[in-house]
Amino acid sequence: MPGKTDTSPRIAFHTEGLTKTYGEGEAAVHALRGVDLSLPEGELVVLLGASGSGKSTLLNILGGLDRATSGSAHFRDHDLTTHSDRALTRYRRDHVGFVFQFYNLMPALTAEENVELVTEIAKTPMSPSEALDLVGLGPRRHHFPAQLSGGEQQRVAIARAIAKRPDVLFCDEPTGALDSTTGRAVLQVIADINEELGTTVLMVTHAAHTAAMAHRVLRFSDGAIHAVEVNATRLAPREIDW
Amino acid sequence: MTLLSPLDRKLLRDLWRIKGQAGAIAAVIALGVMTLVMLSGLVNTLEQTKTAYYERYRLPQVFVPVERAPERVLERLAEIPGVSAVEGRVTGMALVEIDGEILPIRAQAVSLPVHGRARLGDIYLAEGRMPDPARTEEVLLLKAFADARALKPGDTLSATMNGARRGFRITGLARSPEFLYTTAPGEIVPDDARFAVLWMSRDSLAAAYDMDGAFNEALLGLERDASEPAVIAAADRILDPLGGRGAFGLADQQSNFFLTEEINGARSTAVAVPPIFLGVSAFLLAITMHRIVQAEREQIGLLKAFGYTDGETAIHYLKLMLAIALAGAGAGALLGIASGRAMAGLYTDYYKFPFLVFTLEPRSFVTGFAISVGAATAGGAGVLRAVFRLSPAVAMRPPAPADYSASGGIGRLARRLLDQPGRMVLRRLHRQPGRMLGAAIGIATGMALSVGMIGLQSGFARTIDLAFTVLDRSDAQVTFTHAMSEKALYELARLPGIESVEPVRNVSVLYRHALETHRGAITGLGDTPRLARAMDAKQRPLPLPEGGIVLSSTLARELDASPGDFITVEIREGRRPVFDIPVTAVADSLLGAPAYMRLDVLNRALKEPGRVSGAYLRLAPGAEDSVFTTVRGMPALAGIALKEDMREAIREVMDEGMGAMRFVMLAIAGIVTFGIVYNAARIAYAERARDLASLRVIGFTRGEAAFVLLGELGLIVLLALPLGAVGGYGMSALIASAFSTEIYTIPLIFDAQSVASATLAVLASAVFSGWIVKRDLDRIELVSALKTRE
């Protein structure tokens, strides 16, 4: 298959018949029921859907945090479904940045140190202060998470995710815990990263209005993608009606 | 600028955050390591000091007592292959009288060399000066005796030697490796105050004992590869025609035997006790590490999400565990060195060494560190493996709420009986029985340790009590200078103030059974003794058989003999008969390793009918002084000992010798027990802080929230108490045997009192620990507790 569909934008992710089942028998939960998907590089993709619709599960599998039950998932020439644990670790380390809904900062480390945690093991990282400057938190680099507001913590988490110059940035409900003003600021940072660094961004959200800023929108329900929309015109985050 | 990686900084801050718990667990492991380092260092130090002392003052390897041998015989002894040095000397028994003491005190007089220092059996002049060889009234006195009797250089005393009474002036006080412990003949317990050693000029002593140009004891030094038994046999062959009394090696020399037994006792304590403490500490360390790593589950998941490998993540947590384990082990090693040194100092005084060779046992450090690190790693590794098995996505999510549905039945049943907090406690126990059981077993182990150590204290008291009130019901014991006709006893019995008299004959013997030999004594007792008896483990008197011997359990173990076996007895006095005799019973032994025969049977074997070497006396109340004043004039009286004095002497050996270690160990056991309970409370608090804050947020009072936490702790403690009592039985047996030596046997004491005391200790620890975590809970900041995970 590769080579044959080699039209201009390269494909970042490609899945076929991807399923994920938690538990067994009667108690089994089908989180993904066969997802076929191709995503080009450099796009900002928004995954929309209600809780439990499967969007986070897909994100986790594409991010190498979880394994599929069946089907295949590729990142470029990486077959994520057959990768060993070691290879998945390698993949996360070299290609992927994560931003989580609850920031998941290490409480024992300062903002800068939280970023350093990732730059330490990355191949060609930017400096932690550069990453923090990008999210506008340079002056607060020596603060601990407990001394930062929710929006600031999330921006540290973004700085941490982009500092390694990842090929893909995964954001799981990045504004879920934030108010609208802070949420917009965070989304702006994500959009800027996509724009300026050319990083492919996959963002999970259940806030439908964020769809306006995406190149592409995947709508989830009941473990499957039921619609894919490509936005002809995009809105900047500050223009979004929250 | 940044020397430490962010992970290492996280490590340091995490350690700071859990400092209370980390400190408590490090302290517990420190105590385990400290016990090990202290005891092994102490044993090594005593051993090395003993060896150095023996070498520096040339303690002989073989002692050769003889009736009387001309000086020239020494040359023949020197020719025995393997003998490197020979010294002849005159020695004799004496009775010393000092002011304020009714009874004469038994003493040994030893000659000083005519010129210079002794080639063997040298002395250390601690105070004063050497006697002038020209002045026959000048003597050196054993320092331990002088100290016990408050005598000093310049004082005078009088002594009866060979029937003649003479006055002496003390010129100096001396110490000797030969007389570290002094025991009066016929007694089993050394007592500084009741046996004296006098050193005086050879000429003066030779005159007193009619040894001009002769000696009655030769000392032999051996070459490195010499065979001691061969030398002893050769010396006996040379001296037999002159009245040789049987050469013996250093191992059978009384003071050395006693010191060696004490050090052996210390060694067996050092081998058996630290593993118990270290094992308890290691167990606790493993449990705590397990919990600490479990609490980090989400952060482990996060690190893995960033692309940290399992190895890198494991190393990070390994560092955390090692930091705690090594800090504990390091502190323990330092404490062990310091306390080992302090104890060695005390024991140096106690054993009367003139100097101290402080040495540590390197292996104890290696063992201590290895066990600490191993336990910490084992405890953490299991959790890490489990977390690594989870995908990062799962690990990062807070664990799914524990499924309490299975315990719904409890709720229905308890709904009418318990309020909501009460049901929460019960459900948690039901839901996580493994975790609760682990905590309970931890506390139970600590309690068992305390039960054992408390029981040990009673064990020491029981030994003294049984030995001096049940086995021996006499008030005093007289010893004659040589075996006498039993008619002497009738004279004693007629004296006013003496209520009853029972004969005893002690003979020194060599026992053989299979490959084992043991040098000891046989106690011959009357048909139905009432004052001094052999008893079985249930304190029932054992009848002494017509044709057999009753061994104490210590001796039976030593000889590997049991009832029905024949043992060989070589009597070392009189006609020195050798015979085989069946063991008919094994008596409970408390002090020493005695053996009992019927007096008439023993005398028949010796072909000396009707002879006794001493007697047990029952005195009328308050009659001691008058009896002693009468008895002291008796001819052939070697000494008389009050049982009260002997009881005090053994108590001193037990409380100041190696037995004193039990007080230190009891204190450590107490601290360990507290540490374990405190840890359990800390862990319960750490695991539930968030839940408890939530309870507070939804309107529970401080008291109700505390009840959920403390109720759980209380239930764990209640569960631990019976487990601890059961475990305490095993621990008591282990500890009692570890503290027993050949000098005294400590019985297993497992009684209500030790269990009750240990229970109180656990409860007090629980109340105090509960109060501390309750204080923390009251201070919890609700919002931040809910926001950040700590």
Distance (Å, rounded) from C-alpha B111 to C-alpha B92? 9
pLDDT at position A1: 43
| Cβ contact A94–B307 (<8 Å) | yes
Distance (Å, rounded) from C-alpha B281 to C-alpha B371? 10
| Cβ contact B5–A116 (<8 Å) | yes
Which one of A66, A92, A108 has the shortest CB-CB distance to B17?
A108
pLDDT at position B782: 66
Q: Give the pLDDT confidence of B466-510 residue by residue, as tens digits.
A: 888 888 888 988 888 788 888 888 888 888 888 999 999 988 888
C-alpha pair distances (Å), B76 with each of A87, B60, B684 = 87, 17, 79
Chain A, 73-92: which have a CB under 8 Å from a chain B CB? 85-86, 89-92
Please count the residue pairs, one from chain A and one from chain B, whose beta carbons lie less than 8 angstroms apart: 78
Residue B545's nearest CA partner among B591, B488, B602 is: B602
pLDDT over 70 percentage in chain B: 95
| Cβ contact B307–A107 (<8 Å) | no
B402 falls in which pLDDT band (50, 70, 90)?
low
Residue B628, classed as helix, strand or coil, is helix
Phi-psi region of B211 (alpha: psi -120 to 50; beta: other; left: phi over 0): alpha
Nearest CA in chain B to A22: B394
Chain A, 93-122: which have a CB under 8 Å from a chain B CB? 93-94, 96, 98, 100, 104, 106-109, 113-114, 116-118, 120-121
B789 falls in which pLDDT band (50, 70, 90)?
very low
Q: Give the pLDDT confidence of A29-85 residue by residue, as tens digits.
A: 889 999 999 999 999 999 999 888 889 899 999 998 888 999 999 999 889 999 888
Residue B1, classed as helix, strand or coil, is coil
B328 falls in which pLDDT band (50, 70, 90)?
very high
Q: Which residues of A touch B312 (CB under 8 A)?
A: 121
pLDDT at position A72: 94
Global ipTM: 0.80
Q: Does B4 touch chain A (CB under 8 A)?
A: no
Q: What is the mean pLDDT of chain A?
A: 87
pLDDT at position B408: 53
Q: Does A231 touch chain B (CB under 8 A)?
A: no
Strands B138-142 and B195-201: antiparallel
A22 falls in which pLDDT band (50, 70, 90)?
confident
The number of CA neighbours under 13 Å toward the Cβ of B462 is: 19
Burial of B155 (0-12, 13-18, 19+ CB in 10 A): middle
Which one of B302, B306, B784 has the shortest CB-CB distance to A146?
B784
| Cβ contact A116–B6 (<8 Å) | yes
| Cβ contact B307–A92 (<8 Å) | yes
pLDDT at position B1: 42
**What residues are paired with A97 via a beta bridge?**
A169
Q: Does B397 touch chain A (CB under 8 A)?
A: no
pLDDT at position A2: 46
Q: Give the pLDDT confidence of B234-276 residue by residue, as tens digits.
A: 999 999 888 888 888 998 888 898 888 888 888 878 887 788 7
Residue A90's nearest CA partner among B307, B190, B146 is: B307
Return the top range by mean pLDDT from B419-428, B439-448, B682-691: B439-448
Strands B62-70 and B637-642: unpaired
Decide if B226 contacts B234 (C-beta within 8 A): no
pLDDT at position A3: 45
| Cβ contact B307–A100 (<8 Å) | no
The number of CA neighbours under 13 Å toward the Cβ of B282 is: 18
| Cβ contact B6–A113 (<8 Å) | yes
Residue B416, classed as helix, strand or coil, is coil
Q: Give the pLDDT confidence of B148-175 residue by residue, as tens digits.
A: 899 999 999 999 888 788 899 999 999 9
pLDDT surpasses 70 at B136:
yes
The H-assigned helical ranges of chain A are 55-62, 85-95, 111-119, 128-134, 150-162, 180-197
Decide if B92 contacts B107 (C-beta within 8 A): no
B649 φ, ψ to 5°?
-65, -45
Decide if B527 contacts B544 (C-beta within 8 A): yes
SS3 content of chain A, % helix, strand, coil (to 5): 35, 25, 40
Mean pLDDT confidence for A79-98: 89
Decide if B679 contacts B25 (C-beta within 8 A): yes
pLDDT surpasses 80 at A174:
yes
Mean pLDDT confidence for A172-194: 85
Q: Of A47-51, B205-209, B648-652, where does mean pLDDT reach its minimum?
A: B648-652
Nearest CA in chain A to B311: A86
Q: Does A170 touch chain B (CB under 8 A)?
A: no
CB neighbour list of residue A224: distance below 8 Å, 6 or more residues apart: A32, A33, A34, A35, A54
Phi-psi region of B759 (alpha: psi -120 to 50; beta: other; left: phi over 0): alpha
Mean pLDDT confidence for B336-363: 85
CA dihedral B469, B473, B476, B481 (to 10 degrees): -120
Long-range contacts of A14-17 (CB under 8 A, 24+ apart): A14/A38, A14/A39, A14/A73, A14/A74, A15/A62, A15/A71, A15/A72, A15/A73, A15/A74, A16/A71, A16/A72, A17/A70, A17/A71, A17/A72
Chain B, 280-339: which have a CB under 8 Å from a chain A CB? 298-299, 302-310, 312
Tokens of A227: 């619609």
Q: Of B88-102, B112-126, B419-433, B754-768, where does mean pLDDT reach its minimum?
A: B419-433
| Cβ contact B307–A117 (<8 Å) | no
Angle between helices B643-656 and B433-465 in degrees, nearest 10: 150
Decide if B344 contacts B658 (C-beta within 8 A): no
| Cβ contact A106–B298 (<8 Å) | no
Distance (Å, rounded) from C-alpha A206 to C-alpha A51? 7
Distance (Å, rounded) from C-alpha B583 to C-alpha B212? 46
Q: Does B392 touch chain A (CB under 8 A)?
A: yes
Q: Give the pLDDT confidence of B352-371 residue by residue, as tens digits.
A: 888 888 888 888 889 889 98
pLDDT surpasses 80 at B697:
no
pLDDT at position A33: 92
| Cβ contact B10–A109 (<8 Å) | yes
Distance (Å, rounded) from C-alpha B704 to C-alpha B421? 7
Q: Of A185-199, B272-286, B536-550, B589-603, where does mean pLDDT reach its minimum?
A: B272-286
pLDDT over 90 percentage in chain B: 28
| Cβ contact A108–B10 (<8 Å) | yes
Nearest 5°: the CA angle B577, B581, B582 is 170
pLDDT surpasses 80 at B6:
yes
Residue B205's nearest CA partner among B284, B124, B139, B289 is: B139
Residues written for chain B: 790
Distance (Å, rounded) from C-alpha A68 to C-alpha B70? 103
Q: Which residues of B touch A89 (CB under 8 A)?
A: 304, 307-310
pLDDT surpasses 90 at B140:
yes
Distance (Å, rounded) from C-alpha B700 to C-alpha A192? 47
Distance (Å, rounded) from C-alpha B193 to C-alpha B187? 13
Q: Does B607 touch chain A (CB under 8 A)?
A: no
Nearest CA in chain A to B302: A104
Residue B676's nearest CA partner among B364, B425, B450, B339 is: B450
Handedness of CA B584, B474, B190, B107 (dihedral sign): negative
Strands B516-525 and B164-175: unpaired
Nearest 5°: the CA angle B232, B236, B242 is 150
B19 falls in which pLDDT band (50, 70, 90)?
confident
The H-assigned helical ranges of B740-781 are 752-779
Q: Does B169 touch chain A (CB under 8 A)?
A: no
Tokens of B459: 């064990």
Q: Which residues of B touch A78 (CB under 8 A)?
A: none
Return the top range by mean pLDDT from A133-137, B395-399, B615-619, B662-666: B615-619
* pTM for the structure as a whole: 0.75
Distance (Å, rounded) from C-alpha B789 to C-alpha A106? 10
Nearest CA in chain A to B389: A85
